[in-house]
C-alpha cells in the first residue's frame, strides 16, 4: 500500500487530497478537504469526491508526498 497527500483543485476551490493506493496502483480510499469541509470516497453519492479510477503510475505526484498509513487513517477517521 502507498499513501499520498497533495494539493487538489476542483469547482470547490483549492484543497487537500489524501489517497490510499493498493500495491497494484489503483486507488482504494480517498479523502478531500475544501475550506474546512470533508469529503470522502466512503460515500459514493457525494459528487464532490470521486475516487481516482486510474493507476498511480499515470499521476504526476511531483507536488505530493508520501505519508504513513497512520496519518492516512487519522484523516480517514476525521472525515467521517
pLDDT digits (tens, 9 = 90+) for 13-28: 899 999 999 999 999 9
Measured over the CA atoms of residue 76, residue 32, residue 51 and residue 49, the dihedral's sign is: positive
CA 48, CA 59: separation in Å to the nearest integer?
20
Contact 21, 3 (CB under 8 A): yes
pLDDT attached to residue 40: 86
Any idea what DSSP says for residue 50?
-
Dihedral over alpha carbons 5, 40, 60, 28 (to 10 degrees): 100
The domain ranges of the chain are 2-78
Confidence band, pLDDT 50/70/90 cuts, at residue 77:
very high
Amino acid at each position: 500500500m502507498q499513501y499520498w497527500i497533495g494539493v487538489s483543485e476542483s469547482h470547490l476551490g483549492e484543497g487537500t487530497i489524501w489517497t490510499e493506493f493498493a500495491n497494484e496502483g489503483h486507488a482504494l480510499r480517498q479523502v478531500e478537504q475544501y475550506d474546512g469541509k470533508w469529503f470522502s470516497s466512503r460515500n459514493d453519492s457525494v459528487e464532490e469526491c470521486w475516487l481516482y479510477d486510474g493507476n498511480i503510475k499515470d499521476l504526476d505526484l511531483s507536488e505530493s508526498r508520501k505519508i504513513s498509513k497512520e496519518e492516512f487513517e487519522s484523516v480517514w477517521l476525521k472525515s467521517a
